[in-house]
C-alpha cells in the first residue's frame, strides 16, 4: 500500500511540474501571436499616444515575465482576470463554455467507450473473420481522415441532403436535455468516429495477446464457451492497457474539440479559444490553454494510476 501511495504521489508531482512547464510554454507562445489588441480595438486611425495610453491601461506595456508571474499567481488563486476585448470576467466566459465542452465530450464518450469495447471484444472473438476485417477497415478509414473532413461529410449527408440534424449546433443551458443531445449529435458522432479506432484496436489486441496464456487455454480445455472466456478471464486482465488508451482518448475528446466546435459553431471552450486568438485576447487564450492542459494532464494521471492499480507488477518494474 505504501509503495502504491508513493508512486501515486510521484505521478501527481510529475503532473504538477509538467503543468508548470506548460504554463511557461503557453505564456511564451502567446507573446508570439501576431497583431496588437490595442490597434484592433482602437482602429487604425488611433494616434500613437492613444495606443500607448491604452496599452498602459490594459497593463500590456510591462515586461513579459512580470505579466507571466502575475497571471500565474491569479491562476493559482482562482482569479483569471478580465478579458482585454470586452472587460468581462474570464471565469464567467470560461465557465459557461467549459460546461458545454464537457457536455459534448461526455456525450461523445458515452457513445465511443461502450461501442469500442463491444467492437473490440467481438473482433477478438471472431478474429480474422469477415466481421473483424470489416470493422478494422472501417475504423482505420475513419481515423485516417482529419476531424474537419469527417464533420463536413456528416453535415453534407445528414444535414444538407437528409435534413435529419442541424448543421449548426447552437445550444444553451436553457434548452431541455433532449434538444441539447439532438443538436450535439453530429459533433459527438464526429468525435466518436475519430477516437473509436484507437480504443477498439487496443481492446482487440490486449484480449488476443492474453488468449495464448495457460489459464486461458485451461479454460478452453474445460469447455468454457468462448464468450465467457473473453469476458470473464481475458477482459479483466486486459484492463490496464485498455483503460490507458480510453483515458488518453477521453483527454482528446475534451482538448481536441477545437476544430469540431469551430466547424459546427458549437459554443464551447474551443470556439472561445479560436475567437480569442483572432482578437489577440491574451488572458483568455492563456486561461483556455491552461484549462485544456490541466484536463489533459489530469486524465493522463488518472490513466497511470488505474494502470498501476490494475497491474501491480508496474510497482516493481525490475
Is the pTM above the cut of 0.85? no
5 by Cβ neighbours in 10 Å (0-12 / 13-18 / 19+) ranks as exposed
What are 263-307's pLDDT values in tens digits?
Answer: 888 888 888 888 887 777 778 888 888 888 888 888 778 777 777
Give which of 43, 74, 77, 45 is closest to 59, Cα–Cα. 74
Q: Which residues of the chain have pLDDT under 50?
A: none
Domains, in order of start, for the chain: 91-315 (1.10.3720.10)
Cell numbers 496588437 correspond to 36
* Residue 292 CB partners (closer than 8 Å, separation 6+): 254, 255, 269, 273
Cell numbers 461501442 correspond to 115
Q: Cα 157 to the chain's mean position, in Å?
A: 26
pLDDT at 36: 65
Amino acid at each position: 500500500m505504501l509503495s502504491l501511495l508513493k508512486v501515486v504521489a510521484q505521478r501527481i508531482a510529475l503532473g504538477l511540474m509538467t503543468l508548470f512547464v506548460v504554463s511557461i510554454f503557453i505564456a511564451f507562445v502567446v507573446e508570439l501571436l501576431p497583431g496588437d489588441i490595442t490597434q484592433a480595438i482602437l482602429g487604425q486611425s488611433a494616434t500613437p499616444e492613444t495606443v500607448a495610453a491604452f496599452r498602459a491601461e490594459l497593463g500590456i506595456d510591462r515586461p513579459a515575465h512580470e505579466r507571466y508571474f502575475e497571471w500565474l499567481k491569479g491562476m493559482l488563486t482562482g482569479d483569471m482576470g478580465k478579458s482585454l476585448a470586452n472587460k468581462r470576467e474570464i471565469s464567467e466566459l470560461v465557465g459557461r463554455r467549459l460546461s458545454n465542452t464537457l457536455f459534448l465530450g461526455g456525450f461523445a464518450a458515452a457513445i465511443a467507450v461502450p461501442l469500442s469495447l463491444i467492437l473490440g471484444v467481438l473482433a477478438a472473438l471472431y478474429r480474422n473473420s469477415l466481421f473483424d476485417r470489416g470493422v478494422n477497415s472501417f475504423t482505420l478509414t475513419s481515423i485516417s481522415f482529419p476531424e474537419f473532413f469527417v464533420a463536413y461529410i456528416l453535415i453534407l449527408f445528414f444535414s444538407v441532403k437528409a435534413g435529419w440534424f442541424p448543421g449548426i449546433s447552437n445550444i444553451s443551458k436553457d434548452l431541455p436535455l433532449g434538444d441539447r443531445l439532438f443538436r450535439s449529435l453530429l459533433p459527438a458522432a464526429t468525435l466518436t468516429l475519430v477516437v473509436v479506432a484507437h480504443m477498439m484496436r487496443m481492446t482487440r489486441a490486449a484480449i488476443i495477446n492474453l488468449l495464448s496464456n495457460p489459464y486461458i487455454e485451461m479454460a478452453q480445455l474445460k469447455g468454457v464457451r468462448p464468450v465467457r472466456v473473453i469476458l470473464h478471464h481475458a477482459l479483466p486482465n486486459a484492463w490496464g492497457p485498455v483503460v490507458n488508451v480510453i483515458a488518453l482518448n477521453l483527454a482528446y475528446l475534451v482538448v481536441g474539440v477545437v476544430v469540431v466546435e469551430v466547424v459546427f459553431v458549437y459554443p464551447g471552450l474551443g470556439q472561445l479559444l479560436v475567437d480569442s486568438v483572432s482578437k489577440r485576447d491574451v488572458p483568455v487564450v492563456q486561461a483556455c490553454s491552461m484549462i485544456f492542459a490541466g484536463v489533459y494532464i489530469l486524465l493522463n494521471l488518472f490513466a497511470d494510476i488505474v494502470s498501476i492499480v490494475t497491474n501491480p507488477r508496474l510497482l516493481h518494474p525490475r
